[in-house]
Structure 1
Amino acid sequence: MIACLRLFTALCLAALLAACASSPSSSLGELPRTPDASLEQLLQQASETSNPEKAALLRLSAADLAIRQQNNERAQQILAQVPLEQLKPAQQVFASTLAAELAMSRNDHKAALTALNHPSLSRINELPTDLQVRTHTVHARAFEADDQLLSSARERAAMAPHLTGDAATQNNEAIWALVAALPVDQLQPQGNDVLGGWMSLALTVKSAGTLQDQQNAIDQWRMQNPAHPAAIQLPTPLVKLKELASQPLTKIALLLPQSGQLASVSRALRDGFMAAHYQAQQAGQNPPGIQFYDSSRLTSLDDFYRQAQADGVQLVVGPLEKPLVKQLSSRPQLPITTLALNYSEGTQGPAQLFQFGLAAEDEAREVARRAHADGLTRAGAMVPKGEWGERVLKAFRQEWEASGGTIVGIEYIDKPVALAQQVAELVQLRNAGKSGTEQPSRRQDLEFIFLAATPQQAQQIKPTLNYQYAGDLPVYATSHVFSASGDLNQYKDMNGVRFCETPWLLEPANPLRQQVSAQWPQAGGSLGRLYAMGIDAYRLTPSLGQLKALPDTRIDGLSGSLSMSPTQRVERQLPWAEFVNGQIQRLPDTRY
C-alpha cells in the first residue's frame, strides 16, 4: 500500500513538473508555465526536488502565480530565492520580467528598469510571443514613468506585431500618446519602420498651424503611408481633431461678472479678450461672434447652458468665480465645451471642461523648475503667513522635491519688524570668533531662497540678506515682487533678485500691448497680467482640441507659454527677469 502511494506521489510530481515547463531549448532553456497546482504545492515540490533547474522553474511558477493572485509581497519573497545568474537566458528574462512587475506595483520604476537591464533581454525576440509582450509591456510602463517617452514608444512598437483586436488598438493609442508628447526636436525618424512612421505623423501634425492645415497634413501622410497602423485606424485624438475641423467655431459665450467684487478683474479680462478679437478682424480673419452673459446674475448654471444652446453658442469662456468653476468640475459632463477662467481644487472635471488662470501655484512650480535647471538642489523658502502662503509653498515643495531638491529652511513672513530676525534664522548667521578677526558667516547648505512676497517685503528682505552676510545667496521669486509701477526707486534695493513674469510685462514693445495700453493705460501696470490673460483666453478658444490631442504643443501667449496638462488645465511657462540697478533685465530662456 505504501509503495503504491509512493508511486502515485512520484507520478503526480512528474506531472506537475511537466506542467511547469515548456519544451526544452538547446540554449535558451525551459520556461515556466502557469501550473495546475496551488502555490503551496509548487513551493513544497521546489524544496523536495534535487534538480536545481527544476526547483528554480517551480519557484518562478510560484512567484508568477502569486503575482496573478495579487499577493505581491509573497511573490517578492519567492523570487528572492531564485538564483538569477544560475538560470538559463529564457528563465532570466522571465525572472527579470517578474521583478520589474513587482517593482512597478510599488511605483519603483527605477528598480524595474534595473531589473530589465539584464543581458539576457538581448535575446527576447527568440522567446514565445506571450512573454515578449509581457516583457515589452512592463518595460514600456517603466520607461514612461521615468519620462523616457521615446524608449517607451519603442518597446510598444516592438510588441505591436504580436497583438490583435482591442489589445492592438489600445497599444497603438498608447504609442500615439507617447510620440505626441515628444518635443519636435526628438521627432526625427531614423528609418522607415513602424515607430518612424508614428514619429513622422506626430511631426507632420505639429508642424501644421491651423486645424485645417493639420487635416490636410494628416490626409497627405495617410496617402504616403497606407499600410501603417495609424493610416488604417487614426488615433482617437486625431479623429477628434478631424471632427473639430469639420465644425468651425462661429459663436462664443463670454460669461463674466459685470458687478460685485470681481467686476474690475472681469473688465480687464473682457477688454483683453475683445482686443484679441478686434486684432483678428483687422488681420482679415473671420472670427466667431461673441455674446456676453453676466455671471453675477446667474441663478442656475443649467438655465445658462440652456439659453446658450438656444443662442447657438459652441464654446463658453468663463466663469471667473471659483465657486461656479467648482460646481462645473463636479459635474459628470457639460452640454457645451467650457474654458473656465479659474481653477477648481481637487480631481479632474468633466471632459468638456478646460481651466485657465493666473494661479500663484503655477509660478511657485516655475521657480522650482528654473532653480533645478540652473543646477541648484538646496532651497530656503520665505512665504507669507496664512493660507495663500501655504498653498504657494506646497506647490513649490511638490515640484522641487519631485526633481530631487530639498528644502533646508522655511520662514513665514508676518510682521515687518520681525523680518530681520527671520532672515537671520533662515541663513543661520554665525557671529565672528572670539579673536574678532573672522567675518560672521552663514550656513553653507543653503544655495538659494524661494521668495513669494510683495515688493515692499522684498525691498526689506534683500538688503537684510546683504546685512546678514548672505548677499551672495541667489533669490528666485514669483511675479508678486514686481508691481510694474514704473517707479525705479522701488527696486534699487533688490539688485540680483530673479523673478518670473508674464511676457506682457517684460515686452513693452509688443504691438498689441502698445495698442491696448494706449486705450487703457492701466494695462501697462500690474493689471496688465489680466489683460494678457484675456487675450490668451481668446487665442486658446480655437486650439483647445489641438492642445488636448497633442500634449507637447505650446501656444506662445502674452501670459506665458501655454500648454495643456493631462487634467485639462492650461499651464504657463514664464520668462525670467532680474532687477539690475532698479531696471528690469530680461534673462535668457532656459529649457526645462
Structure 2
Amino acid sequence: MIACLRLFTALCLAALLAACASSPSSSLGELPRTPDASLEQLLQEASATKDPEKSALLRLSATDLAIRQHNNQRAEQILAQVPLDQLKPAQQVFASTLAAELAMSRNQPKEALAALNHPSVSRLNEMPADLQTRTHMVRAQALEADGQTLAAARERVTMGQGLTGEPANSNNEDIWALVAALPADQLRTPEPGVLGGWMSLALAVKSASSLQEQQDAIDQWRAQNPTHPAAIQLPATLIKLKELASQPLTKIALLLPQDGQLASVSKALRDGFMAAHYQAQQAGQNPPSIQFYDSSRLTSVDDFYRQAQADGVQLVVGPLEKSLVKQLNVHQQLPITTLALNYSEGGAQGPAQLFQFGLAAEDEAREVARRAHADGLTSAGAMVPQGEWGDRVLKAFRDEWEANGGTIVGVEHIDKPVALAQQVADLVQLRKTGGSSQPSRRQDMQFIFLAATPQQAQQIKPTLNYQYAGDIPVYATSHVYSANGDQNQYKDMNGIRFCETPWLLDTANPLRQQVAAQWPQAGGSLGRLYAMGVDAYQLSSRLGQLKALPENRIDGLSGSLSMDPTQRIERQLPWAEFVNGQVQRLPDTPN
C-alpha cells in the first residue's frame, strides 16, 4: 500500500512538473504556465523537488496564479524566493513581467519599468506570442502611468503586430486614446510606420477648427492611408464625430455684465471672443451669429432663457458672475446648452446642459504638481496666501501631488509682509549643525510650491538665498508674473519657474498680435482674459466633442483645454523661468 502511494505521489509530481513548463527553445529555457493545481500544491511541490530549475518554475507558476487570484501580497512573497540571476532567459523575462505587474498593482510605474529593464527582455521577440503580448502590455501601462504617453503608444503599436480580432481592435482604441492626448507640437514630430499614421490622424483632427473640418480631415486622411488600422476600423470616438457634425451651431448668446465691478473683465472677455469670431469669418468659415445680453440687468435667469429661446439661441456663453453660475448649477436642467465663464463652488455636478470654464487657480496648482512630478521630484514645501483662496489652491496642489506619490513636508500661509522673511526661514527649517555657526537647510524638501504676487515673490526669492536655501527650486503659479516687462522685478525672481498662458508666452501668435495692436493692454496681465475670451469662442462649437471624446484636448491660448467628468474645462499650461531679467520659455513637460 505504501509503495502504491509513493508511486502515485511520484506520478502526480511528474505530471505537475510537466504541466508547469513549456519550452520555446532549449537555449531560452522552459516557461512556466499555470497548471490545474492550487497555490499550496505548487508551493509544496516547489519545496519538495531537488531540481532548482523545476523549483523556480513552480514558484513562478505560483506567483502567476496568485496574481490572477488578486493575492498580490502573497505573489510578492513567492516571487522574492525565485533566484532571478540563476534563471534561463525565457524564465527571466517571465519573472520580470510578473515583477512589473506587481509594481503596477502598487501604482509604481518607475519600478515596473526598472523590472522590465532586465537584459533578458531584449530577447522578447524570441519568446512565445502570449508572453510578448503580456510584457508589452504591462510596459505600455507603466509608460502611460509614468507620463511617457508617446512611448506608451509606441509600445502598443509594437504589441499590435501580434494581435488579431477583438484584442487588436481594443488595442487600437487604446493607441488612439494615447495619441489623441499628445500636444500638437509632439504630433508634428516625424515618426515612421504605423505610429506615424496614428499621429498624423490625431494632428489632422486637432488642427481642424470645426466639426465639419474635422470630418473632412478624417476623410482625407483615410483616403491617403487606406491600409492603416485606423482607416480599416475608425476609432469609436471618431465615429461619434459624424453624429456631432450633423448638428450645426447657428446662433450664440453672449451673456456678460456691461456695468458693475466686473465690467472691465467682461470687456476683455468679449473683445477676445469677438476677435476669434472675426478671425473665423476672415478664414471663410460660416460662424454662428452672436447676440449680446447684459447679465448685470438680469432679474431672473429663467426669464433670460425664455427670451433667448424666443430669439433662436442654441448656445449661451456666460454668465461671468459666480452668483449666477451658482444658480444655474442647482437647476435640474437648462433649456439651452450653456458655457458659464466661471465655476460654481464645491465642484458638485450641475445639469447636463451646463459647462463651466474659467481661469481657475486650481488648474495652475495641479499643473505645478504635474510638472514637478515629471521633473522627478517627490517632496515639496508650500507657500500660499492666508485665506480661502490660498486654502483652495493648496488643496488642489496637495490632491494632485499626493495622488502621484509626492509628499508635502512643510506649509506656510503668507500673511503680513513684515513676517514673510521669518516664514521663509520657518519653512526651510534652518538649523545649526554640530559646532558650526553656519545654518543649513532641511534636506527633505526638494522644491517649493509658490502661489504669490510678484511683490511677494520679489521678497521670497532673495530671502531664500539669504537663508542658504537658494538652491531649492521654486515652482509657481502665473500669479508671480506681472507681464509688465520690468526687468528689475524679474531679476529679483531669478530662477523661479512658473506656468503661464500661451497668450503671454507665445507672443508670435497672429491673433494675439492683432488683438494687442488694437488693445495694447492685451499684451499685459489682462491678456489672460483676452485669451479666455478667444478660447470660449473655440469651445462654443466643440463642447459636444469634448464631452463625447474625453481624451481630446484643444490647444487654446489660455492653455491646453480638456473636460473633466463634471463638465468643467481644465487647463494645462506651458512653463517659463525668470533668467537674468528675462522670461525664458521652458520645454514642455515630456510625455
Deviation at 1:458, TM superposition (A): 5.5
Partner of 1:383: 384
Partner of 2:533: 534
Task: Determine which of 543, 560, 563 is the counterpart of 1:562.
Answer: 560
Check whether the contact 1:504–1:513 (CA below 8 A) recurs between aligned residues.
Answer: no
Secondary structure of the 1:81 match is coil
Secondary structure of the 1:249 match is coil
Q: 1:281-296 maps to which residues of 2 (within 5 A)?
A: 281=281, 285-291=285-291
Deviation at 1:291, TM superposition (A): 4.6
Amino acid at match of 2:492: G
Task: Determine which of 511, 514, 537 is the counterpart of 1:511.
Answer: 514
Amino acid at match of 1:413: I
Secondary structure of the 1:564 match is strand
Partner of 1:226: 226
Percent identity among equivalent residues?
Answer: 73
Deviation at 1:141, TM superposition (A): 0.8
Check whether the contact 2:147–2:374 (CA below 8 A) recurs between aligned residues.
Answer: no
Partner of 2:360: 359
Secondary structure of the 1:570 match is strand
Secondary structure of the 2:147 match is coil
Check whether the contact 2:550–2:564 (CA below 8 A) recurs between aligned residues.
Answer: no
Secondary structure of the 2:40 match is helix
Deviation at 1:385, TM superposition (A): 1.5
Partner of 1:60: 60
Matched pairs, number: 572
Deviation at 1:180, TM superposition (A): 2.8
Check whether the contact 1:251–1:291 (CA below 8 A) recurs between aligned residues.
Answer: yes
Check whether the contact 2:251–2:315 (CA below 8 A) recurs between aligned residues.
Answer: yes
1:496 aligns with 2:496: no
**Residue 327 and residue 143 in structure 1: after superposition, are their counterparts in 2 closer, same or farther (change >3 A)?**
farther
Secondary structure of the 2:32 match is coil
Tell me how far apart the structure 1 counterparts of residues 587 and 313 of structure 2 sit (CA, whole Å).
Answer: 40
Amino acid at match of 1:4: C
Secondary structure of the 2:226 match is coil
Partner of 1:239: 239
Q: 1:572-591 maps to which residues of 2 (within 5 A)?
A: 572-573=572-573, 576=576, 586-591=583-588
Tell me how far apart the structure 2 counterparts of residues 163 and 331 of structure 1 sit (CA, whole Å).
Answer: 48
Check whether the contact 1:475–1:496 (CA below 8 A) recurs between aligned residues.
Answer: no
TM-score, normalised relative to structure 1? 0.77
Secondary structure of the 1:230 match is helix
Gaps of 5+ in 1: none
- Higher deviation after alignment, 337-346 or 2-11: 337-346
- Higher deviation after alignment, 142-151 or 160-169: 160-169
Partner of 1:29: 29
Amino acid at match of 1:386: G
Tell me how far apart the structure 2 counterparts of residues 204 and 95 of structure 1 sit (CA, whole Å).
Answer: 41
Tell me how far apart the structure 2 counterparts of residues 387 and 286 of structure 1 sit (CA, whole Å).
Answer: 44
**Residue 52 and residue 492 in structure 1: after superposition, are their counterparts in 2 closer, same or farther (change >3 A)?**
closer
**Residue 288 and residue 58 in structure 1: after superposition, are their counterparts in 2 closer, same or farther (change >3 A)?**
same
- TM-align CA RMSD: 4.9
Partner of 2:269: 269
Partner of 1:131: 131
1:411 aligns with 2:409: no
Partner of 2:195: 195
Check whether the contact 2:249–2:314 (CA below 8 A) recurs between aligned residues.
Answer: yes
Check whether the contact 1:340–1:355 (CA below 8 A) recurs between aligned residues.
Answer: yes
Deviations 1:320-378 (A, max 9, x none): 45577679889999887654423465598899765421112334455667889999998
Tell me how far apart the structure 1 counterparts of residues 123 and 582 of structure 2 sit (CA, whole Å).
Answer: 56
Deviations 1:104-155 (A, max 9, x none): 1111112222222233334433443333322221121112222233332233
Secondary structure of the 1:358 match is coil
Amino acid at match of 2:537: Y
Instruction: Flag the structure with more relative contact order, 1 or 2, with Cα contacts below 8 A and sequence separation at least 6.
Output: 2
**Residue 279 and residue 53 in structure 1: after superposition, are their counterparts in 2 closer, same or farther (change >3 A)?**
closer
Partner of 2:108: 108
**Residue 83 and residue 323 in structure 1: after superposition, are their counterparts in 2 closer, same or farther (change >3 A)?**
farther
Check whether the contact 1:273–1:535 (CA below 8 A) recurs between aligned residues.
Answer: yes
**Residue 312 and residue 80 in structure 1: after superposition, are their counterparts in 2 closer, same or farther (change >3 A)?**
farther
Tell me how far apart the structure 1 counterparts of residues 394 and 39 of structure 2 sit (CA, whole Å).
Answer: 49
Partner of 2:175: 175
**Residue 258 and residue 39 in structure 1: after superposition, are their counterparts in 2 closer, same or farther (change >3 A)?**
farther
Check whether the contact 1:19–1:35 (CA below 8 A) recurs between aligned residues.
Answer: yes
Tell me how far apart the structure 2 counterparts of residues 19 and 304 of structure 1 sit (CA, whole Å).
Answer: 74
Check whether the contact 1:253–1:315 (CA below 8 A) recurs between aligned residues.
Answer: yes
Amino acid at match of 1:533: M
Deviation at 1:85, TM superposition (A): 2.9
**Residue 396 and residue 306 in structure 1: after superposition, are their counterparts in 2 closer, same or farther (change >3 A)?**
same
Tell me how far apart the structure 2 counterparts of residues 404 and 86 of structure 1 sit (CA, whole Å).
Answer: 33
Deviation at 1:216, TM superposition (A): 3.4
Amino acid at match of 1:452: A
- Higher deviation after alignment, 394-403 or 89-98: 394-403
Amino acid at match of 2:541: P
Tell me how far apart the structure 2 counterparts of residues 47 and 590 of structure 1 sit (CA, whole Å).
Answer: 54
